Amino acid sequence: MKIIISAKNLKKSYRMSKTNVIQALKGVDFEVKEGDFTAIVGPSGCGKSTLLHIMGLLDRPDSGTLKIDDLDVSKMKEKQAYKIRAKKIGFVFQGFNLIPTLTALENIMLAGKYGGQKLSERKERAQELLGMMGLKERANHKPNELSGGQAQRVALSRALMNNPSIILADEPTGELDSKSSLEIMDMLKKLNREENRTFVIVTHNDEVAQTCKKIVRLRDGRNA
């Protein structure tokens, strides 16, 4: 099976002050194949979210290499990284990250704008995704008018807007109750199974991790 994400010896530090440097990643190796449904697990502060942000080109490693579809993106200029991010990668965040002043439909359409879709295409695609998520009647509701599970489905729809091959999810069930968590995980697995989308999910929840096909464990910034 084709390898679509390959990370080798990734290191990342953050300078908090003159004397305080936090080493978030201390040499992580990681590989994701097409169609994988992978969990990254480990205790708080082990580097899970840092690794996900680097894979999503939201951050850069200090050293090491990261390849996406055989393209070395480790030191890629922001303009190039933006294009890859917009076309190949969708994000699902723990806190939903929906814009509070926009409706569910508008939040999803915004991702299409960044992906270069025309207005008519954006609206049609966003409505199609809301229908797929069972949220057609919530199209004109703002985030504060949605339940946690509904807000996360809107966030998932936004992640799917540009038809990316890779979905990165940072604690996607972290703010949901048990029932909504199961629904979201079932939705992710269905997309993986039926559309062969590749998922990488950061979670501290072992129950969520056990539903994944592959588990990568981190501890203290390294592979455990």
Cβ atoms of residues 163 and 112 within 8 Å: no
Question: Residue 108 has what pLDDT?
Answer: 97
- Given a cut of 90, whether residue 157 has pLDDT beyond it is yes
Strand partners, 22: 14
Is residue 36 very low, low, confident or very high in pLDDT (cuts 50, 70, 90)? Answer: very high
Q: What is the pLDDT of residue 87?
A: 85
Dump pLDDT digits (tens) for 162-178.
999 999 999 999 889 98
Residue range 26-30: mean pLDDT, rounded: 95
Asked if pLDDT for residue 1 goes beyond 90, the answer is no
pTM for the model: 0.93
Structural domains of the chain, ranges and CATH numbers in brackets: 3-223 (3.40.50.300)
pLDDT bucket at 154, cuts 50 / 70 / 90: very high
Distances from the Cα of 113 to the Cαs of 89, 107, 122, in angstroms?
15, 10, 7
Could you read off the pLDDT of 50-64 as tens digits, one per residue? 999 999 999 999 999
Share of the chain above pLDDT 90, in %: 78
* DSSP-derived secondary structure for 184-219: HHHHHHHHHHHH--EEEEEES-HHHHHTSSEEEEEE
Q: What percent of the chain has pLDDT over 70?
A: 100
